Amino acid sequence: MVVIEDMNHVLRHIATDAEQLPSYPNPELPLAPELVPALLGFLGKELAVRPLRAYRVPVARQSP
């Protein structure tokens, strides 16, 4: 598990509580800089153990 300090639930870095609400609708704010390396590290380890083709995605069946 990786804990990224000062990253909010919309994956952006915020330094103060006052930055929290303005961060939600602002598409110009970048993702927290530590997020992508953490995700790539996780995916690299996970896929090395279990290749992507081993994951099964359920397909929704449509009613006739």
9-44 tens-digit pLDDT: 999 999 999 999 999 999 999 999 999 999 999 988
Alpha carbons 26 and 20: distance in angstroms, whole number: 11
pLDDT band at 54, cuts 50/70/90? low
State the alpha helices, DSSP H only, in 1-64: 20-23, 35-49
What distance in Å separates the CA atoms of residue 56 and residue 48, rounded to the nearest whole number? 16
- For residue 53, the one-letter residue type is R
Give the 3-state secondary structure of residue 17: helix
